[in-house]
C-alpha cells in the first residue's frame, strides 16, 4: 500500500511539472498537437502542429516526418485551445482579442544565457553553449525532414532553453510593445488623452484583458 501511494505521488508530481523546451526539442508544446492552420489563400488545413522556438515558425507532422511550414502562406494557426497569429513571419500566441486588434505573447530563446558559461548549464566551457546553439539551429531550420519519433526520443538529452516572454499590442497593422512608455511613443497619439485613459481605466500593463482596452483606445486614436 505504501509503495502504491509513493508511486501515485510520484506520478502526480511528474504531471505537475511544467514542460520545458530543450535544445533537442525546441518546441512550445510537449508534443505535436491536433490543430487547424488558417492560410492566407486557400482552405484551412487540419493537422498536428507545434511552434518551433528557432524563429517561432510552424512545424507539422507529415507521415513520420517533421516538416516546416511556409510562413509566407500562414495567417494564423489554432493548436489545441491556443491561437497563434503570424506577426511579420513569427507566430505569437493570442492572449486577448477584440474587433480592433489583439494582445499577443512572443516567446523567444535567450541566446545570451544559452551560450553563456557557468554551472547553470552544466559546464564552465563555451563548448556547451556552442553545441546547444548548433542543435537548436539544426532542428529549427536546417534539418526539417526529421523523424518525429527519433526527435521525441532525444527530447530530454539537450539543455533546457532559457526563454524570454514579451507582450505586444497589434492594431491597424501596427505592432507595439505592451509597455506604457512604448505606447506613449506611438506617433499620432494624444498623450494627454492617453494619460487620462490609463488612469481612469486603471490599466495593468501585465494583464491581457486590461491591455485589450488599450488596443481599443489606440484604434480610435491612430489613423
Min mean pLDDT across 17-31, 126-140, 158-172, 190-204 is at 126-140
Q: Is 178 exposed, middle or buried (0-12, 13-18, 19+ CB in 10 A)?
A: buried
Per-residue pLDDT reduced to its tens digit, 91-107? 999 999 999 999 999 99
Q: With the CA atoms of 83, 73, 137 and 178 taken in that order, what torsion angle do they form, in degrees rounded to the nearest 10?
A: -40
Which has more confidence, 199 or 123?
Answer: 199
Between helix 191-200 and helix 208-221 the angle, nearest 10°, is 150
Structure confidence at residue 137 as a pLDDT band (50, 70, 90):
low
Name the DSSP class of 121.
Answer: G
Whether the predicted pLDDT of 64 surpasses 70: yes
Domain spans, the chain: 33-173
Question: What's the CA gap between 95 and 118, in Å, rounded?
Answer: 35
Structure confidence at residue 18 as a pLDDT band (50, 70, 90):
confident
Per-residue pLDDT reduced to its tens digit, 170-188? 999 999 999 999 999 999 9
Q: What region, left, alpha or beta, does residue 122 occupy, with left being phi > 0 and alpha being psi -120 to 50 degrees?
A: left
CA angle 112, 52, 85 (to 5 degrees): 105
Phi, psi of 165 (to 5 degrees): -115, 135
pLDDT of residue 153: 81
Whether the predicted pLDDT of 215 surpasses 90: yes
Residue with the three cell numbers 499577443: 104
Distances (CA, A) of 195 to 37, 67, 160, 165, 174: 39, 47, 41, 26, 20
Question: Mean pLDDT throughout 207-218?
Answer: 98
Per-residue pLDDT reduced to its tens digit, 45-58? 999 999 999 889 99
Whether the predicted pLDDT of 128 surpasses 70: no
Structure confidence at residue 21 as a pLDDT band (50, 70, 90):
very high
| % residues pLDDT > 70 (the chain) | 79
Amino acid at each position: 500500500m505504501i509503495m502504491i501511494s509513493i508511486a501515485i505521488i510520484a506520478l502526480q508530481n511528474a504531471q505537475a511539472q511544467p514542460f520545458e523546451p530543450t535544445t533537442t526539442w525546441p518546441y512550445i508544446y510537449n508534443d505535436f498537437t491536433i490543430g487547424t492552420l488558417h492560410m492566407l489563400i486557400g482552405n484551412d488545413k487540419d493537422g498536428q502542429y507545434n511552434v518551433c522556438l528557432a524563429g517561432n515558425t510552424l512545424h507539422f507532422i507529415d507521415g513520420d516526418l517533421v516538416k516546416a511550414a511556409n510562413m509566407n502562406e500562414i495567417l494564423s494557426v489554432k493548436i489545441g485551445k491556443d491561437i497563434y497569429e503570424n506577426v511579420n513571419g513569427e507566430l505569437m500566441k493570442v492572449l486577448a482579442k477584440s474587433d480592433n486588434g489583439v494582445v499577443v505573447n512572443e516567446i523567444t530563446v535567450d541566446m545570451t544565457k544559452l551560450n553563456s558559461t557557468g554551472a547553470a548549464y552544466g559546464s564552465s566551457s563555451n563548448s556547451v553553449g556552442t553545441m546547444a546553439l548548433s542543435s537548436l539551429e539544426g532542428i529549427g531550420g536546417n534539418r526539417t525532414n526529421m523523424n518525429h519519433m527519433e526527435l521525441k526520443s532525444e527530447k530530454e538529452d539537450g539543455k533546457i532553453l532559457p526563454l524570454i516572454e514579451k507582450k505586444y499590442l497589434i492594431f491597424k497593422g501596427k505592432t507595439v510593445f505592451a509597455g506604457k512608455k512604448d505606447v506613449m511613443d506611438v506617433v499620432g497619439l494624444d498623450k494627454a488623452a492617453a494619460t487620462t485613459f490609463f488612469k481612469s481605466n486603471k490599466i495593468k500593463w501585465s494583464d491581457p484583458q486590461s491591455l485589450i482596452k488599450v488596443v481599443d483606445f489606440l484604434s480610435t486614436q491612430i489613423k
